[in-house]
Amino acid sequence: MQNPKQTKLKRFAVLALLPVLILAGCTAAPDASFLHLVGSGAQLNTSPVVTSSATCPAGEQLLGGGYTALVSPGDMVSVTEDYPNPSSANTWTVTAATGTQVSGSLLAVAYCFTTPNVQLGVLPVSQNTTSSPISVLQATATGLASCPAGSVLTGGGFRVQGLPQGDVNHNSYITAEGPAPSGASQPSGWQTTLVYPVSTALTAKVFALCARNYLAPGTTVNQTFTQLNTLKGTVACAPNAFTSGGGYSLTQSPEGLPPPYTVYSSFSDTESALNFTPSARFNAYQAIGWRSDLTFHFGWKLTMSANCIPFPR
């Protein structure tokens, strides 16, 4: 017969072990730095068209991406692709046309979810743009890649097709690019709009990345600017939210065809994004907004947007 005191000690040991066993059967929360910034650069003057890709390491999940072109002021850069590459898993690809006379580098940026024991079920969605004339001189092409019901938009991008080779004056004629809000200001997908001369048959494929598990829906946050020539536009998320997808919208003045403009950068506004080393890890508290560096014509209005997702808990 067991000693009553020994029996009590055994019961206490089992009770003390239960929380450990329960936690072991649950999914742990992400680590403090649940985002990983991956960058890959390519020299721009090696070819008229240059491509750069950034791939998330094994076990990490691509949430979104962006780019920055590090060139001299005034150099024209036409970014024709900025998208999650369906032919290479967890890879963000950026393509730019500049001509060999432009020196500098094109940097692709991927935002990767780092926690291996949390499966987000990220689903890529794509949709082609639909074109229609808006005047005898201009046409527009708009596409919306919608996330399935119950999923959460994390990022998105585009691939432009039909741009004449060497035409780098209008940054692919994209006038709007970013999260598309629903009536509740929660983004329903990714939208891209092109405004271009009717003599040019432009189309684009629009991409969205949609997480089916774990993440809470984001909110689209906007900020509007009006300024002459060079401008850095930024939009910030509320506290305890991050962004892995954002964009811009240019409202043109009523002057006919769009005047030349260049979008040099479109990426999460981290503190060290322009100076990071490839595959540098950074804390999600730095990915709290979206940034674009661009030149555009006087009289245009720039609206920046960011898809702000609550920090995982």
| Mean per-residue pLDDT, 93-114 | 87
Return mean pLDDT, the chain: 78
- Strands (E) in 163-310, as ranges, are 174-181, 187-197, 203-211, 219-225, 229-236, 241-242, 246-251, 262-268, 289-296, 301-310
Question: What pLDDT is stored for residue 123 in this prediction?
Answer: 96
305 token code pair:
């947007």
| Mean per-residue pLDDT, 281-293 | 69
In a domain, 39, yes or no: yes
In a domain, 188, yes or no: yes
In a domain, 15, yes or no: no
Identity (one letter) of the amino acid at 144? L
Each residue of 190-214: pLDDT tens digit? 999 988 888 888 889 999 999 999 9
pLDDT at position 245 over 80: yes
Question: What pLDDT is stored for residue 286 in this prediction?
Answer: 64
Between residues 202 and 216, the one the model is more confident about: 216
Q: Which of 69-73, 120-124, 185-189, 303-307 has the highest mean pLDDT?
A: 120-124
For residue 112, what are the domain limits? 32-310
Question: What pLDDT is stored for residue 18 in this prediction?
Answer: 25
Grouping H, G, I as helix, E, B as strand and the rest as coil, residue 146 is: strand
What b/e string do you get for 192-204 counting C-beta neighbours within 10 Å, with b at 16 or more? Answer: bbbbbeeeeebbb
Query: In what side-by-side order are the strands of the sheet with 78-84?
Result: 49-55, 91-97, 78-84, 152-161, 203-211, 122-128
Tell me if 306 sits within 8 A of 221, measured CB to CB: yes
The sign of the CA dihedral 145, 84, 244, 48 is: negative
Identity (one letter) of the amino acid at 108? A
In a domain, 112, yes or no: yes
Each residue of 2-57: pLDDT tens digit? 454 444 333 323 223 222 222 223 344 444 568 888 888 888 887 888 999 999 98
Each residue of 145-192: pLDDT tens digit? 999 999 999 999 999 988 776 555 666 788 889 999 766 688 999 999
Question: What pLDDT is stored for residue 86 in this prediction?
Answer: 92
Q: What is the CATH number of the domain that holds 49?
A: 2.60.120.690
Question: d(Cα 282, Cα 59) in Å, to the nearest integer?
Answer: 17
| Mean per-residue pLDDT, 220-235 | 77
Beta bridge partners of 53: 93
Q: Of the candidates 50, 34, 79, 80, which has an alpha carbon nearest to the alpha carbon of residue 244?
A: 34
Each residue of 115-142: pLDDT tens digit? 878 899 999 999 999 988 888 888 889 9
pLDDT at position 258 over 90: no
Q: Residue 59: which region, alpha, beta or left (left: phi > 0; alpha: psi -120 to 50)?
A: left
Question: d(Cα 20, Cα 15) in Å, to the nearest integer?
Answer: 10
pTM given for the model: 0.84
Rg (the chain; Cα; Å): 23
- Strands (E) in 28-163, as ranges, are 35-43, 49-55, 61-71, 78-84, 91-97, 104-113, 122-128, 130-133, 138-146, 152-161
Q: Which of 46-55, 78-87, 263-272 has the highest mean pLDDT?
A: 78-87
In a domain, 26, yes or no: no
In a domain, 24, yes or no: no
Question: What pLDDT is stored for residue 232 in this prediction?
Answer: 77
Torsion angle, alpha carbons of 288, 292, 298, 302, to 10: -50
DSSP state of 74: T
| Mean per-residue pLDDT, 100-113 | 86
In a domain, 125, yes or no: yes
Q: Of the candidates 194, 164, 167, 205, which has an alpha carbon nearest to the alpha carbon of residue 82?
A: 205
Question: What pLDDT is stored for residue 84 in this prediction?
Answer: 97
Domain count, the chain: 1
Between residues 280 and 140, the one the model is more confident about: 140
